[in-house]
Amino acid sequence: MNKKKSVRRRKCRIKYFIKILFMIIMIVTVCYAADKIINMNGDDKEAAEEIRNLVVSSRNAKQSEQLAYIMKNKDNYTTDLIELAKRNSEAIKFVYDYPENKDNKIDISIDKDIDCNGVPLFMQWDERWGYDKYGDGIIGTNGCGPTCLSMVATYILKNNYMNPEWIADFSEESGYVSDNGTLWALMGSGARKLGLESIEIPLDENRVYSNLEVGNPIICSVGPGDFTTEGHFIVLAGLEDGKIIVNDPNSRKNSKKRWTFDEIKGQIKNLWVFR
C-alpha cells in the first residue's frame, strides 16, 4: 500500500515539474521575442513597451515572432490589419501573410463545409477569401456581414458557390455596403434575392429558441461587448444542451463557447431568421 502511494506521489511530482518546465520555456521564449522587438524599435521606448505587452498576450512563440514582424514592418500593412493582429491573436497569421498573399487568387472550394453537420463556420479572415476587397477594406477586416450570410446560405441552399467572397461581391454590386460597413438590408432584401426566406424578428427569447430548435439559423447585428468593440454580425447556429451555438466569423474561441440568451441579449441590435 505504501509502495503504491509512493508511486502516485512520484508521478504527481513529475507532472508538476513538467508543468513548471513548460511555463519556464514559454516565459523565456516570450521574453526573448519581446527583447528582439525592443531592439528593432531602437529608442522608441513607448512603442517598444506597447509591443512587449502585445507579444506577452499572444498565445505562442510563433505568434509572437509574427507579431514582432508585423510591428516592425507597419508600412506593409493597413491600419485595420495592424489593429486586427493586435486585438485578435487568432488572426495574426492572416495579417502576417498579407504582403505575400494579398494578390494571390485562390480557387475556393467549400464542398467539405457543405457536408458538415449544421451551419458551417466560416472565418472572415480565412486566407481563401479574406484578402479580397470589400467596401473600403478587405473581407478579413470588414466582411463579417457577407461571411455570416454565406454560412446561412450554404447551410440552407446547399450550393457550393455562395462562399464569403461571392456574397461580398454580390453585396457590393447590389449596393449593400457603405463606408460604414455592411447595410442591414443585406440580411433582408439581399438574402431574399439569393432565394432565402428572411424574416426580421424581435429580441424575444422564446422566438429565438423556437427557431433554433427547428433548425432555422438567425443572424444578429451586435454592438460592443463580447464580440466586438464597435459593430459586428454573428450567426446563432443552433442549440446544444440548452445553450446557443454562436458562429462568430471573427473568433473560433467565441464559436467554441456555448452561450445563454442572457449573456448575449444586451449586445443584440437586430435579428433576422432564415429558412
Q: Over the range 119-149, which residues count as b (16 or more CB within 10 Å of their CB) and which as e?
A: bbbbbbbbbbbbbbebbeebbbbbbbbbbbb
CA nearest 34: which of 10, 63, 12?
63
Of 250 and 55, the structure prediction assigns the larger pLDDT to: 250
Q: pLDDT (tens digit, 9 = 90+) per residue, 210-223?
A: 999 999 999 999 99
Examine the pLDDT at 154 and tell me if it is beyond 60. yes
The residues of the chain that CATH labels 3.90.70.10 are 111-274
Residues 6+ apart with CB under 8 A from 56: 30, 34
Report how far residue 139's alpha carbon sits from residue 164's, in angstroms, rounded to the nearest whole number: 8
Q: pLDDT (tens digit, 9 = 90+) per residue, 112-135?
A: 888 778 999 999 999 999 999 999
Report how far residue 118's alpha carbon sits from residue 113's, in angstroms, rounded to the nearest whole number: 10
How confident is the model over 229-254, as a mean pLDDT?
98
Per-residue model confidence (pLDDT) at position 61 = 86
Q: What is the pTM of this model?
A: 0.82
Q: pLDDT (tens digit, 9 = 90+) per residue, 74-112?
A: 999 999 999 999 999 999 999 999 999 999 988 999 998
User: Which listed CATH number (3.90.70.10, 1.10.8.60, 3.30.160.270, 1.10.3720.10) goes with 111-274?
Assistant: 3.90.70.10
Q: pLDDT (tens digit, 9 = 90+) per residue, 16-55?
A: 656 556 555 555 554 555 555 545 555 455 555 555 555 5
Q: Which residue type, as a one-letter code, is found at position 72? A: K
Question: Can you read off the three cell numbers belonging to residue 46?
Answer: 513607448
